[in-house]
């Protein structure tokens, strides 16, 4: 498929002095950026550097405060996503906007600016997915699809507009390594057709593999441009953060204490047709240990988190024990009162309410565990704003949360900064047991190392930490023990030092002889 | 052609604040056009509709009497709506509250005591709450849609009242009129101020508004309502239960509607009749939204909507249009409030293309 109307020379997109203010806060400060035809251009920067803000302006989601955008040499004003699509700009957001109950083809048809029959959409979509190696079944229901497949829908949706520039905002943070490899092949194909790609990622290895040039942002300014292949991940990280990224120092010689968190033959039936059932899960986490649970997303991780946190209690009280108390049927606050803390995977609408302020979001998780400090007025339960604000400030300082005001709404924080706040909110309580699901997705190298170090330190100080993650690098950085979850079953734990990546791979795939085929199918 | 709503990159704070006023202004403009089409002079018509009722002391009292139930119900509904529960049946809860509160003065009319009145108010609240418990139960445990169930129960309540006043509760000395006996002196909600008819129902409304405002702003319960209304999942993470919130918000709004019902009957009508409400329970939905679900805003909105009732009566007398213009004005107002709010968050785009050749095909 050739690219339409391309001029012979000059950059495809040239951004000059583009600025975005939120109130008095400068998210993007006089940014200059040029994208040549046929290049894969990386946009790097730590959390809150302004990357998403910049690309949202390019796609017409946010209106720039000042500055210009030139497309093929002509100054343009992009006031809406449909303007951007008309010019030839496509975008894949990190958070997908798909209707789960509809089919792939229906979802694609919904986003089109024109009326086309569903059959036609399905045909075009499957044509594109063949050409670009993005296998998709147009008749499948979105709810049945993995994250990687959902992302493919978004990509095909963008490709249907025949764009010259495709913007991807952190596309791989939710993908398995295999899914990411496929995505890279597609991107190379796009490049070979003369299309350009603007690529945002915190994973520096993949930026080196993929990208021809990189622009680095820090605090809303362009602080450098480089050829990523001429750099090392460490030198790239230094450009982004402005200083050396700390290396997480794992346990060493933690003293192991009593079992603090235990699951005994925990079985939970699937709550919805799309959920995974948990099958006879046994685990123990002692004080001083970090147990990491590895596995491909969608194998029961969120169901395990729901059961351990008590958001969905289980019938058998003894199936879950926190500090030797049977708590299976108790709710999340009862478990918090026993000294447990929880960090869910999804930030918006689960761990935090985007429209509420950070201090309100602190009350969200700690309204019972800290009721002595935060609530007054006896049975009236008046929220003590002073105490809550002070604690919010403490958390933000301890975790170095960058925000655009004293107490802004959670939704205005960049993804990584909100994550630091959500983790810090629990660490601030010094919980005896901490259960974390995907602690660092979408978090920059500096912040990720900070969060991981905090988890390691918490265990060192004598807490039991359970980390659910699909990032093997992360797992090897923090874990003292590793177990693998697959199709709702948990393997035995292994000491982290004895386990290689290959062994984990085997456990993920064919742990139980009979489920081998199904396991492979899950890995997409 | 089709119409698309496109989210605005930025929501203007100025227009969010102005929106209720713009909606009110548009209502007046379109109301004027309507009067002109009816062959009336729009200026005098609007004057008699909106200004005349405010010019005399007695009519200000009427305004307070009409505003009391609207505010009381609207405040209860704001709690419901904020927690994402859609109680549309306040009219039915109003009627059931009035019936339950009237048990003492109608059935035990001999009993004279200062505790009668407080007991009537209490029964009224219980009656309204119990009637709201039906949709609450159905939603919390059977997963039914509370909008439909609560709305349909309104007709049940209306027919039940009709049957009562024509049948078992009909006044034996009432010459066969479909009415109950008039309430005894101990069962009548007294006037608040010497200058007119305003009864204590208005005070109830103001107190309820202030208390709910305090609850929403300062207490953990208010926080719980906000969180569950925004995201049930985040609420679960906070340890709040959506199911308990269904019960709480429905019973709470039902109780306030019931209190409004018995206060209206005991303070203004002083007996039960087949029809005791000119649609207060429905109008209160407009009041709640016009007041932006904020209890203090609802006090103001309640007074505005009460004015449309008075204006309708006044316009009927002075310029001879049907009392139904009240409904038209209320409908216009709700329409403009909701559309102003929508246009603050979205802009409208018309898409003209029809079956355009696809770009990808051109490219093949
Ligand atoms: N709507 C908004 N209102 C106020 N401030 C905002 C808003 N959106 C973003 N910001 C601020 O602008 C800054 C840049 O945010 P942005 O989302 O662009 O960061 P990012 O580089 O994409 O970070 P991440 O890697 O964490 O996604 C952040 O400090 C954020 O708090
Ligand atoms: Mg971002």
Q: What is the CATH number of the domain that holds A339?
A: 3.40.50.300
Is the model's pLDDT at A6 over the cut of 70? no
Is the model's pLDDT at A292 over the cut of 90? yes
For chain A, percent of residues with pLDDT exceeding 90: 52
Is the model's pLDDT at B10 over the cut of 90? no
Average pLDDT of chain A to the nearest whole number: 87
Mutate to test the interface with B, among A20, A121, A364, A436 (most CBs of B within 10 A): A364
Residue of B nearest to A305 (CA): B237
Interface contact flag, A113 B359, Cβ < 8 Å? no
Same domain, A289 and A416: yes
Nearest chain B CA: its distance from A517 CA (Å):
34
Lowest mean pLDDT among A59-63, A131-135, A323-327: A131-135
Question: How high is the pLDDT of residue B362?
Answer: 35
Which of A211, A241, A271 is the last residue before a domain boundary?
Answer: A241
* Across A308-322, average pLDDT: 95
Q: Sign of dihedral through CA atoms A336, A342, A344, A347?
A: positive
Domain with A54 in it = 13-241
Is the model's pLDDT at A517 over the cut of 60? no
Query: Tell me, what DSSP letter sits at residue A102?
Result: S
The whole-angstrom separation of Cα B306 and Cα B278 is 11
* Across A113-132, average pLDDT: 81
* Across A52-60, average pLDDT: 93
Question: How high is the pLDDT of residue A172?
Answer: 76
For the stretch A481-496, pLDDT in tens is 999 998 899 999 999 8
The whole-angstrom separation of Cα B150 and Cα B139 is 10
Give the tokens for residue A199: 């690529």
Same domain, A289 and A157: no
Is the model's pLDDT at A515 over the cut of 70? no
Same domain, A320 and A211: no
Same domain, A237 and A150: yes
Question: How high is the pLDDT of residue B351?
Answer: 66
Asked whether residue A111 is domain-assigned, the answer is yes
Same domain, A77 and A179: yes
Which of A206, A241, A276 is the last residue before a domain boundary?
Answer: A241
Would you give the distance in Å from CA A64 to the centre of its chain?
Answer: 26
Tell the residue number behind the tokens 């802004």, with chain if given. Answer: A408
Same domain, A125 and A72: yes
Tell the residue number behind the tokens 């209690």, with chain if given. Answer: A313
Nearest chain A CA: its distance from B358 CA (Å):
9
A344 touches chain B (CB under 8 A): yes
Same domain, A218 and A295: no
Asked whether residue A370 is domain-assigned, the answer is no
Ligand nearest to the CA of A447: 1
Give the tokens for residue B234: 């985040």
Is the model's pLDDT at A181 over the cut of 80? yes
Domain count, chain A: 2
Same domain, A126 and A230: yes
Q: How many CB pairs under 8 A join A and B?
A: 101
SS3 A378: helix
Distance separating the N- and C-terminal Cα atoms of chain A: 26
* Across A218-240, average pLDDT: 85
Q: Sign of dihedral through CA atoms A322, A328, A330, A333?
A: positive
The whole-angstrom separation of Cα A124 and Cα A129 is 9
* Across B30-58, average pLDDT: 90
Residue B1 — very low, low, confident or very high, per pLDDT cuts 50/70/90? low
Is the model's pLDDT at B314 over the cut of 90? no
Element (H, E) at A456: helix A445-460
Is the model's pLDDT at B123 over the cut of 50? yes
Residue B356 — very low, low, confident or very high, per pLDDT cuts 50/70/90? very low
A372 touches chain B (CB under 8 A): no
For the stretch B203-229, pLDDT in tens is 999 999 999 999 999 999 999 999 999
**Closest in A80, A356, A381 to B221, CB measured:** A381
Asked whether residue A230 is domain-assigned, the answer is yes
Ligand 1 pocket, residue A489 CB under 6 Å: no
Ligand 1 pocket, residue A248 CB under 6 Å: no
Interface contact flag, B237 A355, Cβ < 8 Å? no
Average pLDDT of chain B to the nearest whole number: 91
Atom of ligand 1 nearest to the CA of A50: 18
Ligand 1 pocket, residue A470 CB under 6 Å: no
Residue B190 — very low, low, confident or very high, per pLDDT cuts 50/70/90? very high
For the stretch A349-379, pLDDT in tens is 999 999 999 999 999 999 999 999 999 988 9
* Across A71-78, average pLDDT: 93
The model's pTM is 0.82
Same domain, A310 and A443: yes
Question: How high is the pLDDT of residue B70?
Answer: 97
Q: In Å, how far are A206, A399, B70, B160, B258 from B206, measured between CA atoms?
A: 63, 45, 11, 30, 16
Same domain, A187 and A327: no
């Amino acid at each position: 498929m050739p690219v339409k109307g391309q001029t012979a020379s000059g950059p495809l997109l040239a951004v000059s002095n583009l600025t975005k203010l939120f109130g008095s806060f400068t998210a993007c400060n006089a940014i200059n950026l040029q994208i040549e035809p046929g290049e894969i251009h990386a946009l790097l920067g730590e959390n809150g550097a302004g990357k998403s803000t910049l690309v949202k302006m390019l796609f017409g989601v946010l209106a720039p405060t000042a500055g210009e955008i030139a497309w093929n040499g002509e100054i343009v004003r992009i006031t809406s996503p449909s303007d951007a699509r008309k010019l030839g700009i496509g975008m894949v957001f990190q958070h997908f906007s798909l209707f789960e109950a509809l089919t792939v083809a229906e979802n694609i048809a919904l986003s089109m600016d024109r009326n086309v029959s569903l059959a036609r959409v399905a045909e075009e979509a499957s044509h594109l997915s063949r050409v670009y190696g993005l296998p998709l079944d147009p008749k499948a229901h979105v709810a049945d699809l993995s994250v990687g497949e959902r992302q493919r829908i978004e990509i095909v949706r963008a490709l249907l507009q025949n764009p010259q520039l495709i913007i991807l905002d952190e596309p791989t943070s939710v993908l398995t390594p295999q899914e990411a490899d496929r995505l890279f092949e597609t991107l190379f194909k796009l490049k070979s057709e003369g299309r350009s790609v603007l690529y945002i990622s915190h994973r520096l290895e993949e930026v080196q593999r993929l990208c021809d040039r990189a622009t680095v942002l820090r605090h809303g300014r362009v602080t450098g441009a480089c050829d990523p292949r001429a750099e090392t991940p460490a030198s790239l990280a230094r450009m982004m953060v402005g200083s050396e990224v700390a290396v997480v120092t794992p346990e060493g010689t933690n003293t192991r204490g009593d079992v603090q968190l235990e699951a005994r033959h925990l079985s939970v039936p699937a709550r919805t047709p799309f959920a995974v059932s948990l099958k006879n899960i046994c685990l123990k986490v002692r004080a001083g240990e970090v147990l990491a649970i590895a596995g491909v997303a969608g194998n029961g991780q969120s169901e395990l988190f729901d059961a351990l946190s008590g958001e969905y209690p289980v019938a058998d009280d003894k199936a879950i024990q926190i500090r030797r108390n049977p708590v299976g049927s108790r709710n999340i606050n009862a478990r918090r009162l026993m000294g447990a803390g929880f960090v869910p995977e999804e930030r918006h609408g689960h761990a935090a309410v985007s429209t509420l302020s950070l201090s309100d979001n602190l009350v969200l998780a700690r309204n019972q565990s800290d009721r002595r400090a935060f609530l007054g007025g006896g049975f009236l339960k008046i929220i003590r704003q002073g105490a809550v604000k002070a604690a919010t400030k403490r958390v933000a300082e301890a975790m170095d949360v960058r925000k655009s005001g004293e107490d802004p709404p959670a939704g205005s924080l960049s993804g990584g900064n909100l994550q630091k706040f959500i983790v810090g909110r629990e660490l601030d309580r010094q919980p005896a047991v901490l259960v974390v699901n995907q602690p660092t997705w979408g978090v920059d190298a500096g912040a990720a190392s900070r969060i991981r170090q905090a988890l390691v330190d918490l265990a060192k100080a004598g807490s039991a930490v359970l980390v659910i993650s699909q990032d093997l690098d992360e797992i090897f950085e923090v874990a003292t023990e590793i177990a693998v979850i697959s199709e709702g079953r948990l393997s035995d734990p292994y000491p982290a030092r004895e386990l290689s990546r290959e062994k984990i791979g085997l456990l993920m795939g064919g742990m139980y002889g009979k489920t081998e085929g199904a396991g492979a199918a899950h890995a997409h | 052609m089709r119409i698309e709503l496109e989210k605005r990159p930025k929501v203007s704070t100025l227009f969010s604040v102005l929106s209720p006023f713009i909606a009110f202004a548009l209502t007046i403009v379109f109301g004027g056009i309507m009067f002109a089409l009816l062959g009336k002079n729009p200026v005098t018509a609007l004057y008699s509709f909106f200004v005349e009722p405010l010019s005399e002391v007695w009519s200000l009292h009427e305004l307070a009497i009409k505003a009391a139930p609207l505010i009381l119900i609207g405040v209860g509904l704001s709690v419901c709506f904020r927690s994402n529960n859609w109680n549309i049946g306040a009219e039915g809860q109003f009627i059931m509250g009035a019936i339950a509160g009237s048990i003492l003065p109608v059935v035990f009319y001999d009993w004279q005591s200062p505790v009668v009145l407080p007991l009537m108010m209490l029964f009224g609240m219980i009656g309204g709450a119990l009637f709201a418990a039906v949709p609450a139960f159905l939603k919390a445990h059977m997963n039914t849609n509370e909008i439909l169930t609560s709305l349909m129960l309104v007709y049940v309540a209306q027919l039940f009242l009709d049957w009562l006043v024509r049948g078992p509760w009909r006044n034996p000395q009432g010459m066969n009129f479909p009415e109950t006996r008039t309430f005894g002196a101990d069962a009548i909600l007294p006037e608040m101020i010497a200058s007119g008819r305003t009864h204590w129902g208005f005070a109830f409304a103001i107190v309820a508004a202030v208390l709910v405002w305090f609850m929403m702003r300062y207490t953990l319960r208010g926080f719980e309502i906000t969180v569950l209304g925004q995201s049930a999942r985040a609420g679960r993470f906070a340890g709040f239960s959506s199911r308990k919130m269904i019960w709480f918000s429905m019973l709470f709004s039902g109780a306030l509607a019931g209190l409004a019902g018995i206060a209206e009957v005991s303070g203004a009508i002083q007996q039960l009749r087949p029809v005791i409400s000119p649609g207060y329970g429905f109008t209160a939905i407009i009041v709640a939204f016009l007041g932006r679900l904020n209890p203090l805003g609802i006090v103001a909105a309640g007074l505005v909507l009460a004015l449309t009732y008075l204006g309708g009566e006044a316009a009927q007398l002075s310029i001879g249009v049907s009392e139904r213009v009240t409904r038209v004005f209320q409908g216009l107002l709700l329409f403009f409030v909701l559309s102003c709010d929508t246009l603050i968050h979205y802009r409208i785009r018309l898409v003209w293309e029809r079956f355009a050749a696809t770009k990808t095909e051109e490219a093949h």
